[in-house]
Structure 1
Amino acid sequence: MEKPGSPPEAATELRVRALTGLKEIGAAAWDACATSAETLAGGDEGHNPFVSHAFLSALEDSGCVSRKTGWLPLHVAVERDDKLVGVAPCYLKSHSQGEYVFDHGWADAYERAGGSYYPKLQVSVPFTPVTGPRFLIAPGADPDVATGALVAGLRALRAETKASSVHVTFMQEPEWVRAGAAGFLQRTDQQFHWENAGYRTFEDFLGALASRKRKGIRRERRDALAAGITIEHLTGSDLTEAHWDAFHAFYADTGARKWGRPYLNRRFFSLLSERMADRVLLVMAKRAGRYVAGAINLIGDTALYGRNWGCIEEHPFLHFEVCYYQAIDFALARGLTRVEAGAQGEHKLARGYRPVLMHSAHDIADPSLRRAVADYLQRERAHVEAMVGELDTLTPFRRPCTEES
């Protein structure tokens, strides 16, 4: 369905449409935007698996995102003469779950003041706190013109759907800067990532740590497997439906205890394996002949992205082994430069993961709510910046001029 939009004056021939699902656009056209040099100029990835047509369509086709789950697809597409200029993965939301950039306080305050915070528009990858492009620009298109048209289209869609706001989360920093210039409110947060500082092996990495931390990690890895647990790395054609049956069982069990209802259903994992198995790494732990825990990761060109974990048996340090240390092992073997192990978790610091900034942008229609949020975000950005600086002093890496070897 077409939305009128208000593209920049210099690009009045652009047409903005809202797509009610990825079936309305070909995979080749979408992925050309997702992997263009114009889109990826703000990051180090040549291919971000989460914004691929395969990943996003698996969420839709499995029913994980739908009107029923509160994630109604309304992707924004910009065209000129029926040729795609840019797209943005967008959803009409009836709640704030599965986003990892928390605005529940904003919603509560607005509702108490008599406003309606929902629906809202969310430009993101559902259930995925991973930085990546959000304004996907076609090869050869002018990024400023395309971004301006996408922003105008999002605002027109906000008005059409009577949404309170537009939220663009886990975006690349250059996009964040352009969104700020377009009048979006800017927000920051932090995560913990492991960076390969020239290590060839896990022992090289351990050699960069203070002695006590190095010994602690070796002890954790040893204790994690003490009950006779073995670890398997499964990717590509090695992945079978039996593996997904096992993984989903303990993912669902852990998710139910943690959130009440897991976001991803069993069919999603089959579709993911069918459409992009070479981009999937499943780390599985086995004891006494059966799988007892595992973690799913997606493989980029330069980074490994840890996503979901689950277990049906509790073993000391097994979570750290499967999710953090095995991810580092795989990244080193593949020549990847970074491991992103998901949202939150200051416990990652002691395991060699360092704090980094995350970026999001927010466009709020109501002037009163906008002023209140803008004031809050100004103070929050200063707090986050100070916190990242402080946390970076708590990493386990050896300091210059220490006596430790």
Structure 2
Amino acid sequence: MWTLVLNSGSSSLKFALLNPATGELRLSGLAERLGAGEASIRLERDGQRETRALNGGSYGEALGEVLKELDALNMRHEVRAVGHRVVHGGESFSAPVQVTPDVLEGVRACVPLAPLHNPANILGIEAAQQAFPGLPHVAVFDTAFHQTMPEVAYRYAVPEEWYKQHGVRRYGFHGTSHQYVAGQAAELLGRPLQELNLVTAHLGNGSSVCAVAGGRSVDTSMGLTPLEGLVMGTRSGDLDPGIPDYLARQAGLSLTEITAALNKKSGLLGLSNLTNDMRELETAAADGHAGARLALDVFVYRLAKYIAGMTAALGRLDAVVFTGGIGENSALVRAEVLNRLGVLGLKLDSDANGNLPRGKAGVISQAGGPAALVIPTNEELSIARETARLVEG
């Protein structure tokens, strides 16, 4: 069974054609700048890469190009289902669901919780339903994995009516990634997932950690929105909630301007005043750039604090898992984080950490304590598997 996975952003469409059973990938790509000038689509099929322009730049046109590629591969008839990444499912969706008109209304009801993401997800689903009218479409939610968190973990200490009337609570994100690497960690360790207590760290331009007990999320760092938690590429992560009011009075900034700055001008970029790219920051820090060094230090410090804090939800720590662009590729970040976590019994194996091949999973800790693992994430495969599981019953 081949599954087409679609991830619709505000101006982009990421896609992949996968066999959920084997993980084989036949087609993947990204359409960018949709709805704007100079829209384009980047394709990779059977090891060959190509980029071409999109004249209209709509989701429908991008999917039309995907259909052409499926025909060129003689695989349109092989697609059995379409899986859609949906960012926010609120409290309504705790598992993947087949898309119906009622489900789409439920996703629309969550738009206030994810105003930048859910509208794009809806547009992508509707365009895909027109392009693939005879196939089942499945929505897989970023937030669903975290719906197993206990109330003590997801409630904010705010007036109760804010929660009951407006849904103000912690939801968490990156659920498909945390779920996938937790399962892979169990395979790498040769132990049943149900017996493991893990902290998974998805580290990229957006970053979050998750406490996973027996395969279930019991706490995570992101909250109502993806802004809470760790220092990220351009997001601030945790900060004093009085800061927006202070800046509104002192700097004359509007709430919209402050929120935009916290999402797009903060994090590694704000601290370094240089870049949000961890690779560039590591190089600049090595060359003596003070802002880059500060950004690295704050990122590592906050991450180590959060990993240690997540153990309070677990009681026992079996392993820490690094994934995402930074987690998989930055030996420096991994080393500095683990060196701060000796209190948990974690012991870095410097050779294993420094020599781990790019894109490979491995153990980077010494024996005698909790394991530290690097596991490449594969959210598209996770979505394909969830889609196939639902469609096949």
State the TM-score, normalizing by the size of structure 2. 0.27
Bigger RCO of structures 1 and 2 (CA < 8 A, at least 6 apart)? 1
State the TM-score, normalizing by the size of structure 1. 0.27
